Amino acid sequence: MQENERENAYLTGRERTVRTADLELWAEEFGDPADPAVLLVMGAQAQGVQWNDGLVRRLVDGGRRVIRYDHRDTGRSSTVDFAARPYTVADMATDALAVLDGFGAARAHLVGASLGGLIAQRLAVTAPDRVLTLTSLSSQPLGTDTAATLLRALSGEPPLPGDLPPPSPELLAALTSSFPDPEVGPKGYLVARLPLWRALHGRVLPFDEEEYRAMERRVYERARDYLAALNHTLAGTAGTGSTAELASVTAPTLVLHGTEDPMFPPAHAEATAAAIPGARLVMVEGMGHTLPRVLDARLADEILRHTEPS
């Protein structure tokens, strides 16, 4: 195969439906299957395609086999009747392993954003033989009761002693109306979603409204039922375990976080890095709680450096 043909072949996503006992999980692979695998684990209520194509391309160019997937209750993956079949973050971590199994990847570099960071941390604790390295991106340590913190903040109560900082007031306001009724249609959906992305993006980096519009159009069009993603809120952080368990992590760990994160202020990253032996903390100047295209190169460079074969 000619070199340019090889590059084109490996930059084209190869989609697959991974089937478990009771779920179908949409997944997509890029890169040479012989290269080290990087599993990208998105956050709560987010689809795998919200890992930017530009970031994926840079990782593939750096010699990585990249796999991204839709969590249960998002995108093209199965939706779940949460009342009849409740699940936890531990179950979502099992889904991630099923995706790796579906692609025949015995081990992988895990890169988890937000809730995905908790899932990746959980796997580093419970399935260390499957984890080459861990990157916890825009996340917080295992055992953090995010739901309780949010409820106290929304009700105007002060944080409890020892709590990590709550989300910013602007983000709290945006969170309360970010999932509109399906009757509003695609235009109403976009109108409702953009204030949330503006708040998550933060105040420092320029906000490219069309970038977020395009992303949300893709999300809306792909979703079997976009309201099903709210089940992630019901799952909360149940099944993550405790912060103390992170002391057992042996995978080389990178904690990558934005200086302007309005969801999990920098103290969350500091607590994560402090809990994992040998973890390296890298703060990205100006980044909020989103992964805009302008940061593709910076994030890819950090991940490639961290996942470089020793």
- Kindly name the residue from 77, 114, 138, 168 that is annotated as catalytic: 114
Among candidate residues 18, 46, 221, 24, the one with its CA nearest the CA of residue 116: 46
CA angle 8, 69, 24 (to 5 degrees): 120
Long-range contacts of 221-224 (CB under 8 A, 24+ apart): 222/47, 222/49, 222/70, 222/75, 222/76, 223/47, 223/74, 223/75, 224/75, 224/76, 224/77, 224/78, 224/79
- Kindly name the residue from 70, 95, 261, 296 that is annotated as catalytic: 261
- How far apart CA 126 and CA 134 sit, in angstroms, is 13
User: Is the distance from CB of 254 to CB of 135 less than 8 angstroms?
Assistant: yes
- How far apart CA 249 and CA 28 sit, in angstroms, is 28
- Please confirm, yes or no, whether 77 is among the known catalytic residues: no
39: exposed, middle or buried (Cβ count in 10 Å: 0-12, 13-18, 19+): buried
- Please confirm, yes or no, whether 168 is among the known catalytic residues: no
- How far apart CA 52 and CA 296 sit, in angstroms, is 8
- Kindly name the residue from 109, 232, 268, 289 that is annotated as catalytic: 289
- Please confirm, yes or no, whether 181 is among the known catalytic residues: no
Enzyme catalytic residues: 114, 261, 289
